[in-house]
Chains A and B, each alone.
Chain A
Amino acid sequence: MPRNDTLFHWLMLAPALAILGVMLYWPMLGTVIESFHDSSFIRPQPRFVGFEVYERVFGGRDFPHIVRNSVVWTVAVVLLQNLLGLLAALLLNRGLPGQGMLRAIVLLPWVLPGVVAAIVWRFMYDPQLGLINSLLLRVGVLEQTAAWLADSSTAMAAAIFAAVWKGFPFSALIYLAALQSVEREQIEAATIDGAGPVRRLVDVTLPAIRGVIVVNIVLTTILTFNYFDMIWVLTRGGPQSATHIFPTKIYEVGFGQFRFGEAATYGVVSILVLAVLVAFYLLATRSTAARRRTA
């Protein structure tokens, strides 16, 4: 390649690479450095304290809650969102009348701004005025109104349900695209062999899109673990930290209490969790790509 070609390409790449380096990779390192420093609202100047902040965070009352909540939140949202997304995609792939319109409608929650979705759901869950209580009272499931978000035994489930509503359309979109690439002949061959709809799904369709399912599950796990808007607007992590997850805790400690060192320590823990997830993601995409090459 001629010299000036090399220069041209480096110039094309330079602005983007510079931004990613300074604004994403450097702050990642900055968070690690910050976590070894202590600072507070009264003493804003960070001072190096080694692992002291880590000891405080790990020994704190909230830490086990945050870990447990993050696991429950992430696992539940990811499983439900992918299951529902897959079912919706299977339904939308049947070529039924009205499908085009329905496909566009199904994507609406994903396009709806996160804060709006959270506010609407907050209102849906309202003990007195909310639609959910209203419907449940009407059909007789409830005998008196329930305060879904104010009760620490139901708040997490309520937040998960709202997040699944917001997130499943994206999974459905990806699964629908994958289903459309499954060979018709394979399905027809299975039908001729006498396979019923369930058999065809389990033996032909699901194995054919297995790679997409794995990648999508890892990807939604990463996105869900990082998702701040829904829980912050619904509950701010409450009641009594019952819905606090890593992102909401980091914001509260960092910008609510200006304890940057502590917030950064929560940040480092979540970076480590994500590093493991990302490793899974890379393995998943690599094996999918490899399978495609050999196919």
Chain B
Amino acid sequence: MRPSVPERAALAGLQLLLAAFVLLPFFWMVSVSLKPATEPFAIPARLWPEAPTLDNYVTAFRPEFRTYFVNSVIVSGATVAITVTLGLLAAYSFTRARLVLITALMSLVVLAQMFPHAAIIIPIYRMMRGAGLLNTYAALIIAYVSVTLPVAIWLLRGFLGKMPVALEEAATIDGAGRLRVFFEIVVPLARPGIIATAVYVLIVTWQEFLFALSFTATREMRTLPVGLNDFVGQYGIRYGELMASSVMVSVPVIAVFFLLQRYFVAGLTAGAVKG
């Protein structure tokens, strides 16, 4: 049944409204990032700069920013690799093992997803200090792996649970060992799930703020979100640079998301809706 013309016009209008609501802050961020430092802020503000320029990006890409960027890449990269690997191992056994405790253990994993980070951060801080890990990559990577692992296991379990076990059984009968079956059959088949999980873990760790703020003390160890928050204090009035930095922090995750959103959206909704 085709909607009538006025109905279609109304729906199109609503769609535009939704797009405008979502995009307005993005538009403002980009607009201000392109504004020359010399162009004064008009009151009320001008929507688009008179002579857009990339100068703010050049200035904002200062050595500290590059350090933060490298730190974020190292910490997020290591977290994604470790979380997805350990999550995959665990998720496989959560779907295949017939152990007595398996349901109880899975409940503990589901429960751990909901832990308030602020409420458990002080004992973790004490542990890190005791181990001499404060202000190191290791502190952040360990914390990030811990908080992303429950969701990763849960997402991957959704995927592995839907994979047929017939292939694995056939390979076992042909004499393939447990590990060979896992690496040569399970891992390749689970690829879409692995990608979806990796994207999710990346989005979460790239923006993590609380642990990074609490566990790093020097500029050399700051990650992008903490560095950006410092900029607000330091360069508070230089909005052009602040917005240019914000764009540069956001572009990597947005790019990854758009490249892989096909896997990601399917994976996340499958897990979330089917529980």
Contact = CB atoms under 8 A, between A and B. Distances in A.
A25 interface: yes
A15 B254 contact: no
Interface string A251-278: 1001100001001101110110010011
Contacts of B272: 174, 177
A142 to B, nearest CB: 10
B54 interface: no
Classify the secondary structure of A's interface with B.
Answer: helix
B183 interface: no
A201 interface: no
Interface string A129-162: 1110111011000000100000000000000000
Contacts of A212: 273
Given A16-B90, A177-B272, A91 B18 contact: yes
Given A109-B22, A267-B116, A30 B93 contact: no
A218 to B, nearest CB: 10
Contact of A247 (B115, B118, B125, B232): B118
Contact of A25 (B26, B112, B253, B254): B112
A28 interface: yes
A71 to B, nearest CB: 16
B118 A34 contact: no
Interface residues of B, number: 92
A82 to B, nearest CB: 14
A260 B122 contact: yes
A268 B119 CA distance: 7
A12 B122 contact: no
Given A111-B203, A124-B28, A228-B209, A250 B232 contact: no
Interface stretch (B58-66, B145-153, B162-170, B187-195): B145-153
A271 B12 contact: no
B232 A119 contact: yes
Contact of A30 (B90, B123, B225, B242): B123
A19 B145 contact: yes
Most buried by B among A96, A106, A111, A169: A111
16 contacts: A8-B178, A9-B97, A20-B108, A20-B146, A27-B123, A29-B123, A105-B22, A113-B249, A115-B209, A115-B249, A123-B28, A124-B28, A131-B28, A251-B214, A270-B119, A274-B119
Interface of A: 1, 5-6, 8-10, 12-13, 15-17, 19-20, 23-31, 33-34, 88, 91, 94, 96, 98, 102, 104-109, 111-117, 119-124, 128-131, 133-135, 137-138, 145, 165, 169, 173-174, 176-178, 181, 191, 212, 215, 222, 225-226, 228-229, 232-233, 246-247, 250-251, 254-255, 260, 263-264, 266-268, 270-271, 274, 277-278, 281, 285, 288-289
